[in-house]
Structure 1
Amino acid sequence: MDIKTDRRALLRGAALTGAFGAMGGCNPGADDGGQNSGAEDGLTTTTIAAAEKLQGIEYTPQERAMMLDDIEQRLTTLAALRAIEFPNELAPACVFDPKLPRKKIPSQKNRLNLSEVRRDLPQSEADIAFASVVEQAHWLRAGAITSAQLTDIYLRRIEKYNGTLNAYITVTADLARAQAAKADVDFAEGRGRGPLQGIPYGLKDLADTKNVLTSWGATPYKERVPETDAEVTRKLRRAGAVLLGKTACGAIAYGDQWFAATTRNPWNAEEGSSGSSAGSASAVAGGLCAFAIGTETLGSIISPSERCGTTGLRPTFGRVSRAGFMALCWSLDKVGPICRTVEDNAAVLSAINGFDADDPSAARVGFTYEPQDITKMTVGYVPAWFEEGDSADRKALEALKDLGVTLKEFTWPEIDFGSLIEIVQVEAAAAFADLTLSNRDDELVWQAKEAWPNAWRAARFVSAVDYVQIDRLRRRLMQDMMTAFEGFDALIGPHFAGGALLATNATGHPQLALRAGFSQRPALSLFDEPIQKQTFKAPRGISLWADLFEERKLLALGAALEKELSVSDQRPPNFD
């Protein structure tokens, strides 16, 4: 049997039957004013009339009869299209650019100026494991500890705690020890590679690692082993970082449930760590790595950072290469660090930032991080967001005011941009169309109404015409946000207030989530529904947003706010 030909026939049949099979059992022979042609093939004007209900439109019997031949031809065209193999990394021809034509992006030189470290190397392995990247880098350069010793500390912690957290899908112990040994040789011979040299980290299992399992957290890909590295993987290797393993992610970048387990929150293992950078946040919060790499399409860095109390940076769209990462939504996907401190995010971003020709959306913008006088900054806030927030949110706002910044009311766009959520649904449905059409979406562990299989099926009923309108709405929101940020260095608010997560992901603006305090609450489901009666001490965070490619302002403000709030060094219980 010709497998390729047989697959084409199968998909053509799916296209032809799917067009009317989902119409609720329409009767091809139903009376339609004598206009019911094409009945012998199963596609009729009655089918069109039923399909109109899915689009909220209504045609006359004559109009339906006139378009019937064209629709039948389109089904043949769709069948041919669906028979083509589209690898996940093949991006659409239309490329998203967050920068509007009249938008000026200030140039930046690649410069990193981190705070001076004054603390000596602790005696406790747990204290070393929970130290910041900046501190660990200082101790490594000073010879107070070797990369091999630091790596073994984390490998021992992974062996002890990963069974509870399920933060790693794959642990690369041999590779980590080899990379640590190389880092120590480089230190001994005076070859400096930057602040990440010798620092052990976790890499979200959406990033390709040559000859190392990269499963995307999903059953259909749980034996997938790439032949090349992602660009970020290469950059971190060149920076001398030590790969401990691949951190767990919700299957195909959604949630905290992967093909073998649910990743847990170190502050309370009764709840998941949220998603989809679930393992990255859990591993950092539990002291199972110094830092981790996450990705975000719509909250996948911010949400687990809130749940686990980590500090996550979602960079401006295009700042960090996505080449070699699983594509979920080409016009929204971003790669960023998850750390324990704000400055650690600066250190990691300095290593992974940069243009890459293999990413069609990659920007050519440098990254600067150095001390800034934040008292000269103007930070916006939306009063209603804080009125609806909690005490941790309001405390963060007051702390920022105490730091001497100018606080000014921010005019949040008033347009209804809720339909932008369809960008994720439609692009993800396209990225994994083969799973839907072959019914391999049934292999995914999570099969709920909110899960990908159902969302992808429903996305096929979003019309192309409406999708173009959604894209035009996106452009209008970009224009409104450009106007709103004029005169502001940053915006502060609760992570999810006012639809800011959706809006700023769609416009490409950067977001920094940092710990603001704690609350007493019960364990929560993925969708923040209580799942137990007893409460526990849970971390609470706050977000800062800035204009496009102005992460330097976010990080300067965030570092000052983190110091003022003085809650970032508290650790989850039972992980010492």
Structure 2
Amino acid sequence: MVETITEADIAGAERLLGLAYTAKERAQMVGNLDGQRDLMIARRDLRLDNGTPMACRFDPRLPGFAMPHGIDALHPSEITAPLPSEPEDIAFAPLTNLSHWVRSGQISSRALTDLYLARIELLNPRLECFATVTPDLARAEADAMDALLGAGVWLGPLHGIPYGLKDLFDTRGITTGWGAEPFQNRVPDSDAAVTTRLRAAGAVLLGKTTVGALAYNDLWYGGWTRNPWNLNEGSSGSSAGSASATAGGLCGFSIGTETLGSITSPSQRCGTTGLRPTFGRVSRVGAMALCWSLDKVGPICRSVEDTALVLAAINGGDVRDRGSIAAPFHFDARAGIEGMTLGYLPEAFEDGATDVDRAALAAAKDLGIKVKEVTLEDLPYASLMTVVYAEAAAAFEALTLEDTDDTLRWQDDGAWPNTFRKARFVSAVDLVQTDRLRYRVMQALGEMMSGVDALIGPFSTGPMLVASNFTGHPCLHLRAGFEDIASRSMASLGAGKLTTGDAAGETTFTVPQGISLWGQLFDEGPLLNLGMALEKKLGVADRRPTFPN
């Protein structure tokens, strides 16, 4: 039986919400709060599954926005490099090269698939980056792609290329466990939209890459996904397995998702190139929902141009996804960057920035384009996090109401279930006001980006990680250099903290560090052209991990 609400209960709730009412105001409210509470309890009796979307939908476009392109166009670089003799050189090759070798018959899709399956068998026990491996399916798909090529049919740049799919995308008849114990035996009866589009593009599914439980961190029901550059630390999350497998040369490319750093953070940790496209560009149908107004789907690769080939394959509107926005994707590898203007926030390169960050900015200034300081309106950007907490708590309401989260391998009290419970004490009024703040943030970033083609900065320094995820702007994160540092502790986002500080004599590891570029809404092409130029200037993309313990 639910007890009657008293004035003392209201006074206690005020402290949780940061409010202060008078005794008279509490007396006025107390009579009708029972009914308000009972309506909420009655709604909870209707169980909403993860696939039921919100009626409200987020649109990143401000008034007056016009799509920058009218039709799709993909013009990749012409590759003439011959097939290497060493399997490892093939495994770590850019997707552009792999595509050329398969199309020209220098290597069959079956041989490439077997090469990657062998690396998975050898290295997955150490990296724990694949939750499920599908060798029979992969070989069958590869054989089918070879047969099509033999018949003169080429499906595009991904034809015959083996890849890893983050284990929150449905794959018919194949376990899709969301990284979490309550769902580890979940087997969907249909494919996600991304799964279908990649199959249509000719890509070969090697298996499901690990995801931190319910898209948090790099811990999952089967273990702890590791960074190939230092096996003593995790690969960050939540696209943990996708970044680890790609960085380790266990696949040609992979697919990740980002709500708030889940593509860029593991790319920072593992040294991969991650592209978080504009919100709404890629369908999320058949993908686990964490936050309906924030979730985005994108590629994780080993070079900038590779991300364009993958995005072209998965791009497209989908009426089944309430957040989907039909937008052409236009990329031409031959396009130059002459005349571009790159902005940066000077404070982002001060406290908290690394030598690699500053060197990346210096390299950008040497590209022959205009680089200028910009400013961003001072707003309480961190307050937007309330939206993440509330939407995620709603997406997994049953988990905490029924206490099934007790089966999860959480490492500290800051993990998702505790956050879900705390979100119950966010007021509806504050949530609406936070949504209005989000619109102000859209205006602020729109104003800042109006004078530049792109912005450069450390991905987790300053407001841009949070702000750009909430505005829906695209972000490209690429390797910029290396640092010698001690093993880092578990962290959901970013570099994490040193486990034992930097005491003298502590073992250090050479690990990659990256830099982020943010671009204009639905105009990823110029962003990638700029990224290609910066990647070439920095000259660190080809270095491979040695999997040190």
Q: TM-score, length-normalised on structure 1?
A: 0.92
Q: Distance in 2 between matches of 1:463 and 1:495?
A: 30
Which residue in 1 is equivalent to 2:448?
484
Q: 2:342 aligns with which of 364, 379, 385?
A: 379
Q: 1:534 aligns with which of 503, 507, 512?
A: 507
User: What amino acid does structure 2 have at the position aligned with 1:282?
Assistant: S
Matches for 1:107-126 after TM superposition, within 5 Å:
107-126=69-88
Matches for 1:260-271 after TM superposition, within 5 Å:
260-271=222-233
Matches for 1:227-306 after TM superposition, within 5 Å:
227-306=189-268
Which residue in 2 is equivalent to 1:148?
110
The answer as to whether partners of 1:137 and 1:199 remain within 8 angstroms in 2 is yes
Matches for 1:281-430 after TM superposition, within 5 Å:
281-370=243-332, 371-388=334-351, 389-430=353-394
1:199 and 2:167 correspond: no
Matches for 1:167-186 after TM superposition, within 5 Å:
167-186=129-148
CA distance 1:108–1:390, change in 2 (3 Å): farther
Q: 2:121 aligns with which of 148, 159, 176?
A: 159
Which residue in 2 is equivalent to 1:517?
481
User: What amino acid does structure 1 have at the position aligned with 2:301?
Assistant: C
Cα offset for 1:379? Answer: 0.5
Q: Give the SS at the match of 1:515.
A: strand
Measured against aligned partners, the alpha-carbon deviations of 1:191-239 in whole angstroms (never above 9, x if no partner) come to 1111000000000001000010000000000000001100000000000
Number of residue pairs the alignment of both structures matches: 537
Which residue in 2 is equivalent to 1:48?
10
Aligned sequence identity (%): 54
User: What amino acid does structure 1 have at the position aligned with 2:127?
Assistant: L
Q: Distance in 1 between matches of 2:218 and 2:246?
A: 15
The answer as to whether partners of 1:375 and 1:406 remain within 8 angstroms in 2 is no
Q: Give the SS at the match of 1:240.
A: coil
1:563 and 2:531 correspond: no
Cα offset for 1:62? Answer: 2.9
Cα offset for 1:547? Answer: 1.3
User: Which has the bigger relative contact order, CA under 8 A and spacing at least 6?
Assistant: 2
Q: Give the SS at the match of 2:406.
A: helix
Matches for 1:411-450 after TM superposition, within 5 Å:
411-446=375-410, 448-450=412-414
Q: 1:82 aligns with which of 16, 19, 44?
A: 44
User: What amino acid does structure 2 have at the position aligned with 1:385?
Assistant: A
Q: Distance in 1 between matches of 2:272 and 2:370?
A: 27
Q: Distance in 2 between matches of 1:385 and 1:56?
A: 31
Q: Give the SS at the match of 2:371.
A: strand
Q: Distance in 2 between matches of 1:95 and 1:225?
A: 28
Matches for 1:437-516 after TM superposition, within 5 Å:
437-446=401-410, 448-516=412-480
Q: Distance in 2 between matches of 1:320 and 1:255?
A: 23
The answer as to whether partners of 1:201 and 1:241 remain within 8 angstroms in 2 is yes
Q: TM-score, length-normalised on structure 2?
A: 0.96
The answer as to whether partners of 1:301 and 1:313 remain within 8 angstroms in 2 is yes
Measured against aligned partners, the alpha-carbon deviations of 1:147-202 in whole angstroms (never above 9, x if no partner) come to 00000000000000000000000001111011000100111111111100000000
User: What amino acid does structure 1 have at the position aligned with 2:349?
Assistant: F
User: What amino acid does structure 1 have at the position aligned with 2:7?
Assistant: T
The answer as to whether partners of 2:225 and 2:240 remain within 8 angstroms in 1 is yes
Q: Distance in 2 between matches of 1:476 and 1:319?
A: 22
Cα offset for 1:86? Answer: 0.4
The answer as to whether partners of 2:230 and 2:547 remain within 8 angstroms in 1 is no
Measured against aligned partners, the alpha-carbon deviations of 1:275-319 in whole angstroms (never above 9, x if no partner) come to 000000000000110100000000000000000000000000000
Q: Distance in 2 between matches of 1:514 and 1:474?
A: 27
Q: Distance in 1 between matches of 2:340 and 2:272?
A: 25
Please list every run of 5 or more consecutive structure 2 residues that lacks an aligned counterpart in the other structure: 501-505
Q: In terms of Rg, which structure is larger?
A: 1
Which residue in 2 is equivalent to 1:37?
none
